[in-house]
Chains A and B, each alone.
Chain A
């Protein structure tokens, strides 16, 4: 499976390493014409305002919306989760508007409040080490969205069909199970399950 990592800004190398460790092939995506032969796309952590601006500037909004419409899977972590959301709390303009969720940015506070913890994730057997950095939260989900994990009753991992998103950074640990989960989504999409 060939997985692209949107390489406009953020933790691109870490996702590439994790995808490769999970058995996939990773490529850094800087232009829209690189999307056509990918089996899946990851939108990494970084600054969502920066990534959002650059996505608009280089035509990624429509290109990624079309990519998703083909049934190809997308995985957003932290800023990537914000990029996927249909609604951003506080009135800020949403970016890709693909996932039927509302997100609150910097929902835990500032860097001082950033933390790591162990998290149960539906579909993954043992707990996952989750690193939350100035992390967002999912405050509302639509009916077609499945909640995969919560922290203090707040939603931090969710899936809607071919879209996967989490508030934290699985790419910052040596646990590659969420990337393996995403690769499985890509395999299933490729054979049309």
Chain B
């Protein structure tokens, strides 16, 4: 009997496919998310748009919130640790969360090194905006990926950019010759063996979700259409007018992302989605996606 194997960690993410993982800030929201059909919840102290508004240093949530959420739902519970913050991750592991997000949404604790995720029993999900970042995170032990997008903006453009870029880079790698692969591994800053795997299979060895800016059912369906395995929704749900309706609609649009009539139906009378931010209005220091390369 073996726990924490690569297959057990990556397999857990496979079971989330086609699903929606929702940010929640308390037990009540967690119950709403579960009732709406979320496949997992991310327990947080503040959603990304509030983190943006508050400024200052964003850290791991108070363990009370994480435990409170774990108590009330039967679906998996994830929680965020700062990039490079080994101890926050160990604390979350000790609480028994099901997945740790080493996340650029929080203020990085280390500007160079990520956590060595291979030595944990709990699997990790990490953000990536290109193939180099994606494979470096896998090399460090991430068992699931998500696009970085631009969290807390309610603007899908960055998530689209990142998913398109990663998928385009995968297609390019598939067509490289062996000698070109050595060079490409060096250019991307990744291990040759990992790149060879992408070359041979035409895909990443782990599940890749969309995240960072999903605000509407159509946004979720767009990311599925572009090849995401599932969707994280952060501020989009509990910053909208009617979270319950919104959550259910996003779940349905993700499952039936090619059924446009259904998406039209679930999008009716949802009220106002979160306001959203134009990306060019963000100052360079406000761009979360540039953290943890």
Contact = CB atoms under 8 A, between A and B. Distances in A.
B190 interface: no
A47 interface: yes
Interface residues of B, number: 36
A24 interface: no
Contacts of A110: 76, 96-98
B256 A49 contact: no
A8 interface: yes
A131 B19 contact: no
Interface in B245-264: 251-252, 255-256, 259
Interface string A20-41: 0000000000100000000000
B63 interface: no
B99 interface: yes
Interface string B3-27: 1110110011011111100000000
Interface residues of A, number: 38
A13 B38 CA distance: 20
A191 to B, nearest CB: 34
A14 B11 CA distance: 10
Interface stretch (A50-58, A142-150, A154-162, A175-183): A50-58
A1 interface: no
Interface string A113-134: 1111100000000000001111
B251 A50 contact: yes
B39 A50 contact: yes
Contacts of B252: 54, 57
Given A8-B255, A50-B37, A116 B5 contact: yes
Which 7 pairs from chain A and chain B are nearest by CB? A111-B98, A47-B39, A9-B18, A115-B3, A117-B1, A11-B14, A53-B37
